[in-house]
Amino acid sequence: MPEHVVSTPRFTYGEYCLWAGDERWELVAGEAFNMRPAPSRRHQDVVGGLFTQIALWVRHGPCRVYAAPFDVRLPHGDETDEDIETVVQPDISVICEARKLDDRGCRGAPDWIVEVISPYTAARDHILKRTLYERHGVREYWIVHPLDRLLTLYRLGAHGYAPPLMCEARGTQTVTVLAGLSIDWDVSFDT
C-alpha cells in the first residue's frame, strides 16, 4: 500500500463485544464511532419523554421499545453476529417483530428509530444514519432537534425514503408505524 494512503481499521461485532471499558461505540461498515461525550440533560429529558409515551402505547401489543444503550445489529445478509460490521445504538428503537429480538438486542431493522441529536452526532444522524436506516428498511426515522424543537421525519416508501417532513415539535405528531399513536411534544419537552 502506498505510504500516503491511510487505512482505517475495520471492526466486527465480535470484536466490539470484547472491548473493555465503559465507553459506548457504534460500528458502521466496520468503522468505529465513539459515542461520547455523554448526552446533555436536555437530550435525556426529550428521550425520556418520548420513551415514556411510546412505552405506554406498546405495552399490550406485539411491539417493544428500547432506549440506548441497546445494540441494533444490521447485517448485510446472513453472516453470523460475530461478522456483522454495523451495530448502532439509536436513542429509541421500536421493534414489532419478536424474531428480531434476542439477549444481545436487535438483529435487523427496527420499525421505527428516533435519534435526538446533539452537536457531536448531528451530521452522522442526518447523513450517515439516514442512508444506513433507509438501506436496511427502517420504516420510520425521526430526527429530533432538542434545542430548536424541530422534527425531521422520514417514511419509507417503495423507492426508499420519501422527501422528509420537517415541522416544529409542538402539538402532536402522528406515528405511522404505530397506528393510533400520536406523540405529545409538550410531554416530551416538559422540563
Q: Tell me the pTM.
A: 0.92
For range 79-100, the mean pLDDT: 96
Each residue of 10-68: pLDDT tens digit?
A: 899 999 988 887 778 888 999 888 887 778 889 999 999 999 999 999 998 999 999 99
* CA gap 135, 132 in Å, rounded: 5
Query: What is residue 63's predicted lDDT score, i.e. its pLDDT?
Result: 97
Size of the chain, expressed as the number of residues it contains: 191
- Which residues have C-beta within 8 Å of that of residue 113, sequence separation ≥ 6? 72, 90, 92, 93, 94, 133, 138, 140, 141, 142
- Residue 33 CB-density burial (10 A; 0-12 exposed, 13-18 middle, 19+ buried): middle
> Kindly report the CA angle at 144 between 91 and 171, in degrees rounded to 5?
120
